[in-house]
Structure 1
Amino acid sequence: MHRIMGYKEIARGPIMVSYPENLDYEIIKQHDGDFGKLSIENPDIYTNNLTVASVDISAAIIAYSRIYIARLKLDVMNNLGGKLYYSDTDSIVTDVKLPDNMVHSTELGKLKLEHKVRNGIFISGKLYVLYTEDKVKLRSKGVNQNSFDYNSFLLLLTNNDVVGIKTQSKKDWFIGHVKIFDKEITIHSDNYTKRLKITDLKGYLLDTKPKVINNLNKKLILYNPNMFSLTRYKDNTKFIKEIRYIIDIHP
């Protein structure tokens, strides 16, 4: 299992063999050994730190999760007549009560009611404030939450930049010291670029609409609701969206 670096005969019979501690994949392969099994049965300083992971399985889970959350959002809009104010990897903020078959506190695959929201401001992913029935929930990824308040979100809502505090650290290996300090960073109102913003005459952010990329020339094309047509399945219960046409906004 190891690559021999050298050996020396001590007496008649016994031989002292020198070899590195880590398992050698090529040596094990040459002897038709199972490297995975042997690394578990004979852990060394290297294999002890290895994490068993599958990129294929991880990618499949993420892709299926996106499909699943997208179906839930379409169901909220098309079948329940609700609006979507915010959505993340595993969450939805809407203005309609979801049916019991979609909600459960412990059942795997269903949504859990986290908050009943009175009002909220959503700027971008993981940057929002919620006023619930009993508390204020503020999320500001990358910035200390105590440096943000409701007025900060109002400024971002009207396309104004705000300054937040971010805690950083600096290591000095020579003297064995870690310095922790706060640094002011600017949160730009236009840092959300995943969708096109819709504002009123006063500049208030009202909604967003999707960006559509022309896969032929990779240009941004103008979104129009008529680009998509609803197609009914044979069972008359589900819908899919199909691209009907595109309009290129570039000359």
Structure 2
Amino acid sequence: MYMFKVIYKLIDLGIDIYYMDTDSIVVNQAIPEELIGNSLGLFKLEQEIKHAYFISPKLYALESVDGKFIIKAKGIGSKLEFAQFETLIKNEAIVKAQERWFKDPANATINIKNIYMHISAINLKRKQVMENNKLAFTKPLIVDQDNIKNKNI
């Protein structure tokens, strides 16, 4: 609930929100000083971003102004490179092998297998809107008696 209050305040101030998660938010400009600090519920500046791709929740890449690259890809770890996010933003998929360990208690062994992860921008919870062959933004979907409709925004 606290994050929603912050979001609404930032929107009222004309600040664009590019991405958010449980404990973080990425915006296009400085947030008000009263929201910054070390106390619980306040924000701290972790990075100033030069370039970023936000594909879906927990799938993004950032390049900071000091040249540091931060890549988050849940389930695949750091196996993606920054440049590959350009492929994802064009709505093209990437396939990566991910080593996984499987316990076999009956035989007292652990088996290691490569699982092929299919990574894409497809999100079944939102309608993708493309501009110039790139994913520009998404719109919420409404499910009404088994029919999926686009919500007009």
For the aligned pair, the TM-score class normalised by the smaller chain equals 0.7 to 0.9
Change (3 A) 1:144 1:110: closer
Higher strand share: 2
Q: 1:76 corresponds to which residue? A: 10
Q: Give the share of equivalent positions with the same residue, in percent.
A: 28
Q: 1:161 corresponds to which residue? A: 93
Change (3 A) 1:84 1:193: farther
1:201-212 → structure 2 map (5 Å cutoff): 202-212=132-142
Give 1:171 deviation, angstroms: 1.9
1:122 is aligned to 2:54: yes
Bigger Rg, which one:
1
Q: Normalization by structure 2: what TM-score?
A: 0.87
- Do 2:19 and 2:25's aligned partners in 1 also have CA atoms closer than 8 Å? yes
Letter in 2 for 1:101: E
1:142 is aligned to 2:75: yes
Where does structure 1 differ by over 4 angstroms across 4 or more consecutive aligned residues?
none
SS at the partner of 2:83?
Answer: helix
Residue segments in structure 1 that go unaligned for 5+ positions in a row: 1-66, 226-251
Residue segments in structure 2 that go unaligned for 5+ positions in a row: none
Give 1:131 deviation, angstroms: 0.4
1:89 is aligned to 2:17: no
Q: Normalization by structure 1: what TM-score?
A: 0.55
1:20-59 → structure 2 map (5 Å cutoff): none
SS at the partner of 1:150?
Answer: coil
Give 1:85 deviation, angstroms: 1.0
Higher helix share: 1
Report the count of equivalent residues.
Answer: 152
1:99 is aligned to 2:32: yes
Deviations 1:54-94 (A, max 9, x none): xxxxxxxxxxxxx221221222122x212111111221111
Give 1:195 deviation, angstroms: 2.4
